[in-house]
């Protein structure tokens, strides 16, 4: 095989109750990554980056999330002298809270691994993809990379040791994700967070996380809805998203189980128990943003259980 092309899906991280430890993948948007052998030069070279609009992404391997992820994988495999070209085709907005940098990093390691005959499992690729995303936001966490790489809903018991676990996905669970035309960089979204949490608030959050996981295992969607309350991060970050309170309110009024900020924002997600309700909630969320003078894009999807796919 001389060339591999993959699609890496967008992800929703935190999922209200699991800051830095929960995430799930959706069907779209996502990034396409291409890796191919090139005998004309040694080492990894980024040869094309498209879909960035007015943004400029670095072609230097050590400054690019996909480049770093792929390079660390090649170093691990002792294949740094192989001539490999890497193309990055962005298919999702930057600073969207949908795991754009994670998709590029995860897609890159899968493409290069496949090009080399798939010597490592998907789970073994996780460490290298997280190293890549760390370049973008300065934090070593897998709540976007893990679900992007392997699909489904993932729980990260420990980011330090990358102790990752798959959670069951109720069959009729659907999500509406609305991306308002606002850009929030992960570094900036982390800067607004306090490192102090009261004991009372911590107890509320722990209860919500525990009951959310219970709801997944018991297929109890009403319990899932009662569990989707973020007592720690959402109250601090919602100030960065114009119209957030109304957007959340209308999603719940249209039948969403729960609604919160996707990752660092500004995208907002609503979990629903049918595609019809997800579409209705999503459209209502868009209308609410519009009332605040903010245009947006809507994505309706089941939970993506494949992760990165080879095209």
Q: Where are the domains of the chain?
A: 3-167+306-310, 174-302
pLDDT class for 1, splitting at 50, 70, 90?
confident
pLDDT of residue 30: 97
Return d(Cα 199, Cα 206) in angstroms, integer: 10
pLDDT at 55 (0 to 100) = 84
* Residue 262 assigned as binding residue: no
Active site residues: 133, 186
Q: What is the pLDDT of residue 93?
A: 84
Closest CA to 99 of 14, 42, 161, 204: 14
Q: Is 201 helix (H, G, I), strand (E, B) or coil?
A: helix
Please tell me whether 66 is known to bind a ligand.
no
Place of tokens 């691994």: 113
pLDDT for the residue 104:
97
Look at residue 268 in the predicted model and tell me its pLDDT: 98
Summarize the confidence of residues 88-105 as an average pLDDT.
Answer: 93
The DSSP secondary-structure symbol of 162 reads T
Q: Known binder of ligand: residue 296?
A: no
Asked if residue 198 belongs to a known ligand binding site, the reply is no
Give me the torsion for CA of 61, 191, 235, 218, rounded to 10°.
Answer: 40
User: CA-to-CA distance for 24 and 144, rounded, in angstroms?
Assistant: 8
Of residues 93 and 6, the one with the higher pLDDT is 6
Report phi then psi at 253, rounded to 5: -65, -30
What span, in angstroms and rounded, lies between the C-alpha atoms of 195 and 218? 33
37 is in an annotated binding site: no
pTM of the model: 0.94
The average confidence (pLDDT) of the chain is 95
Q: Say which CATH topology domain 174-302 has.
A: Alpha-Beta Plaits (3.30.70)
Which region among 129-138, 141-150, 201-210, 249-258 has the lowest average model confidence (pLDDT)?
129-138
Assess whether pLDDT exceeds 90 at residue 14: yes
Instruction: Please tell me whether 278 is known to bind a ligand.
Output: no
Q: Is the pLDDT assigned to residue 94 strictly greater than 90?
A: no
In degrees, to the nearest 5, what angle opens at C-alpha 132 toward C-alphas 129 and 133? 90
Q: Is 58 annotated as a binding residue?
A: no
Alpha-carbon separation of residue 249 from 208, 231, 244 (angstroms): 19, 16, 9
Q: How far apart are CA 42 and CA 40, in angstroms?
A: 7
What CATH architecture applies to the domain 3-167+306-310?
Answer: 2-Layer Sandwich (3.30)
Average pLDDT over residues 2-15: 98
Q: Give me the mean pLDDT over the 255-271 stretch.
A: 97
* pLDDT value of position 185: 74
**pLDDT surpasses 80 at 187:** no
- Does 282 carry a binding-site annotation? no
Phi, psi dihedral angles at 121 (to 5 degrees): -75, 165
Outline where DSSP puts E strands in the chain.
Answer: 3-13, 22-37, 44-50, 84-89, 153-158, 163-167, 174-180, 258-261, 268-272, 296-302, 309-310
pLDDT score of 57: 92
* DSSP per position, 164-182: EEEE---TT-EEEEEEES-
Whether residue 100 is annotated as binding a ligand: the answer is yes
Confirm whether residue 99 is marked as ligand binding: yes
């Amino acid at each position: 095989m001389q060339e591999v092309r993959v699609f890496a899906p967008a992800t929703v991280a935190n999922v209200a109750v699991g800051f830095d430890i929960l995430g799930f993948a959706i069907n779209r948007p996502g990034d396409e990554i291409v890796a191919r052998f090139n005998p004309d030069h040694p080492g990894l070279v980024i040869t094309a980056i498209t879909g960035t609009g007015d943004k400029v992404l670095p072609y230097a391997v050590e400054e690019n999330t996909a480049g770093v992820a792929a390079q660390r994988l090649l170093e691990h495999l002792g294949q740094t002298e192989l001539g490999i070209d890497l193309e990055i085709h962005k298919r999702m907005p930057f600073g969207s809270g949908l795991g754009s940098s994670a998709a590029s990093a995860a897609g890159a390691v899968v493409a290069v691994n496949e090009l080399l005959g798939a010597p490592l499992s998907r789970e073994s690729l996780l460490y290298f993809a997280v190293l890549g995303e760390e370049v973008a936001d300065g934090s070593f966490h897998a709540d976007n990379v893990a679900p992007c790489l392997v699909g489904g809903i993932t729980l990260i018991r420990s980011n330090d040791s990358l102790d990752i676990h798959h959670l069951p996905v109720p069959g009729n669970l659907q999500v509406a994700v609305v991306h308002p035309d606002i850009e929030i960089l992960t570094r900036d979204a982390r800067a607004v967070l306090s490192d102090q949490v009261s004991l009372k608030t911590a107890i509320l959050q722990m209860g919500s996380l525990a009951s959310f996981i219970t709801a997944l295992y018991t297929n109890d969607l009403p319990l899932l809805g009662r569990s989707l309350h973020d007592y720690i991060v959402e109250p601090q970050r919602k100030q960065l998203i114009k119209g957030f309170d109304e957007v959340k309110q209308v999603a719940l009024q249209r039948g969403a189980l729960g609604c919160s900020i996707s990752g660092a924002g500004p995208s907002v997600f609503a979990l629903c128990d049918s595609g019809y309700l997800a579409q209705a909630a999503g459209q209502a969320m868009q209308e609410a943003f519009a009332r605040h003078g903010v245009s947006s894009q809507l994505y309706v999807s089941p939970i993506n259980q494949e992760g990165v796919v080879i095209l």
